[in-house]
Chains A and B, each alone.
Chain A
Amino acid sequence: MAKIVVEGLKYRYPLSQKLALNDISFEINEGEFIGIIGANGAGKSTLCQALTGIVPLFFKGDYGGRVIIDDVEVAKSNLSEISLKIGMVFQNPFTQITGSKLTVYEEVAFGLENMGFEREEMKRRIDDALMLLDLYRHKDKNPFDLSGGQMQRLAIASIIAMQPKIIVLDEPTSQLDPQGSNEVFKAVSDLKKKGITVIMVEHKVEKLSEYADRIMLLHDGRLIDFDTPSKIFSKDDLKDYGVVEPVFTRYCKKIGLKDERGLYPVTLDEAVNLVVKKREHNS
């Protein structure tokens, strides 16, 4: 059974004429890693917010269609209840720190305290989350003293401690340096290994192709395509949607190097394998 079902989702922000999401339908299975790509204004962030209930429960506006998570319709639920099923990490690591806690350990506890968890359960979950995100040795530091990458991992740990089965990340590495981005990608791939469904908006397509099972291409609020990374990045009209393929794909497109299925490689390993294979074939 699909974990997330979206049917005919439409949404328009208050005071806006244009639909931010226009008739979007798809299904996501349990444990999948989904990437979302598209140009600015394509509706990526709005889609994330619709999945987590922020649209229409936080942002009002015109809303149509349904988002169903575990048989619960998001728009008819409330945000606290949804936050136990699906968590969301935002772009800016700084604004996700509550500011009311003095240590990393207490910061992770914030959501658990609000949801009324027992102390022992709380501690167990915080320890697990900090270990998973490799933050345990920083547990007594002030959250504002962490680096950008560490702060973003703390934001993820705070969400993971709530033990949602799905986590949505909206450009979590856009404000981070390469090292911080790598830290976040590693953390997110660990989450997938734990069986958590990951949905991630990301412009770093090389990284995304490496981890994602499927990629969703959005443009002007519409769902253009939703398929494997090789199928998405092998499309000829990507430029029309303001999306650039991974550098390896671009290189192979230029020299016309396709695999037997007629698809271009999207990761470094795939490209290297294909080149080696071709070379052996030629010799």
Chain B
Amino acid sequence: MRMMSLYKDKDTIIHKIDPLNKILYILASILITMLISDFKILTLTLVFSFLLLAIGKVIKNVFPIISFSLIVLVTIVVIQGLFNPNNKIPLFNIGQFVFYKEGIIYSFLLILRVLNILCAFSLLILTTKPSDLIENLVRRGLSPKLGYVLASVLQIIPQMLSTMDTILDAQRSRGLETEGKLIKRLKAFIPLIGPAVMNSLISTRERAMALEMRGFNSNIKKTFLNEHNETSMDKLIRYLIIALIIFTIVWRLVWLK
């Protein structure tokens, strides 16, 4: 089954942590990296995130996500190294381009921030089943309708893409040329998108009726098939993260004075 998700199904302690705690961890990670500009602390938090990813057995899967943002990271080094307004001490040069120490140091700080946030996000998306995450949010007050939209999109979009492939094959078999120059491809787009959109509209209408027949718009308070037992460990982790967030904010305010 094709699904739009990076989730890796493994049996580890990280996978069992309440999804809300992982969201809080992202929040903490963003706050800490934005409020603190200390190399040691940021490196420490990054190492900690990597440690959590390693315990979750998903460390291999985080590298493609990082490499995806590699161009941005390299661009940061180049631009800051060359053009940071505080640049004074030349560090090295490539041809006639001089890279400065201040800019390079600042760019490394930015890179650390980006990596910290990326790793925290990866921890959530690689170790949390999307349906668990959404169900957790619905339990905590997210509208069940919005929850349904978020959950269904992950499975229905790949289904729509495979319908699109069928339409593509059908139109090709009738002689539609879909490969070649850009203009040819653009021309081929119209006979493809028409049936695809109509097909989706019809499916959506039928699905809406089918959902209605299963109490989708019911005013009764929703119940859940899966039990949700919040362990004392989950609570402890939550309080720790919240304490860390508060501590960071207070520390930053005091430090600024």
- Residues on A close to B: CB < 8 A? 49, 52, 54, 58, 78-80, 83-84, 87-88, 90-92, 94-96, 98-102, 105-106, 109-119, 122-123, 126, 142, 144-145, 155, 158-159, 162
**CB of B220 within 8 A of chain A?**
yes
Q: 7 closest A-B pairs (Cβ-Cβ)?
A: A111-B214, A80-B218, A114-B215, A100-B151, A99-B152, A116-B220, A95-B206
Contacting residues, chain B, for A96 (C-beta < 8 A): 206-207, 210
The yes or no answer to B94 lying at the interface (CB within 8 A) is no
19 CB-based A-B contacts, threshold 8 Å? A79-B212, A79-B217, A80-B218, A88-B213, A94-B159, A96-B210, A98-B148, A99-B151, A100-B131, A101-B131, A102-B129, A106-B226, A112-B223, A116-B221, A119-B223, A122-B225, A144-B1, A159-B214, A162-B214
Check B214 against A95 for contact (C-beta < 8 Å): no
**How many chain-B residues does the 8 Å CB contact rule pick out?**
35
Chain A residues with CB below 8 A from B156, complex form: 99
Question: Are A106's CB and B209's CB within 8 A?
Answer: no
Residues of B within 8 A of A101 (CB): 131, 151
User: Do B203 and A94 touch (CB < 8 A)?
Assistant: yes
**Contacts A106-B225, A115-B220 known; 15 new A-B pairs at CB < 8 A:** A58-B212, A78-B217, A91-B206, A96-B206, A96-B210, A100-B134, A100-B148, A111-B213, A112-B225, A118-B223, A119-B227, A126-B225, A144-B155, A145-B1, A158-B214
B213 touches A52 (CB 8 A): yes
Main secondary structure of the interface of A (DSSP, over half): helix
- Across-interface contacts of A106 in B (CB, < 8 A): 131, 225-226
The reply to whether A83 and B214 contact each other, CB–CB distance below 8 Å, is yes
Shortest Cβ distance from A99 into B: residue: B152
Which parts of B147-183 form the interface with A (CB within 8 Å)?
A: 147-148, 151-152, 155-156, 159
Chain B residue with Cβ nearest A84: B215
Give Cα distance in the complex from A202 to B156, angstroms. 28
CB proximity of A229 to chain B, nearest CB, Å: 28
Contact residues, B1-56 vs A (CB, 8 A):
1
**A110 near B214 (CB under 8 angstroms)?**
yes
- Contact call A95/B155, Cβ cutoff below 8 A: no
In the complex, which of the residues B129, B206, B216, B226 contacts A114, with contact meaning CB atoms closer than 8 Å?
Answer: B216
* Residue in A92, A105, A122, A123 whose CB lies within 8 Å of B203: A92
Does any Cβ of A come within 8 Å of B65's Cβ? no
For A100, give its contact among B152, B159, B225, B226 (CB under 8 Å): B152
Measured between alpha carbons, how far is A282 from B37 in the docked complex, in Å? 105
Bound Cα distance from A105 to B147, whole angstroms: 19
Closest to B153 in A: A99
* A79/B213 in contact, CB under 8 A: yes
**Within 8 Å of chain A (Cβ to Cβ): is B222?**
yes
Minimal beta-carbon separation of A20 from chain B (angstroms): 16
In the bound complex, residues from chain B placing their C-beta under 8 Å from that of A78 are 217
Q: Is B231 an interface residue (CB 8 A)?
A: no
CB neighbours (8 Å) of A119 from chain B are: 223-225, 227
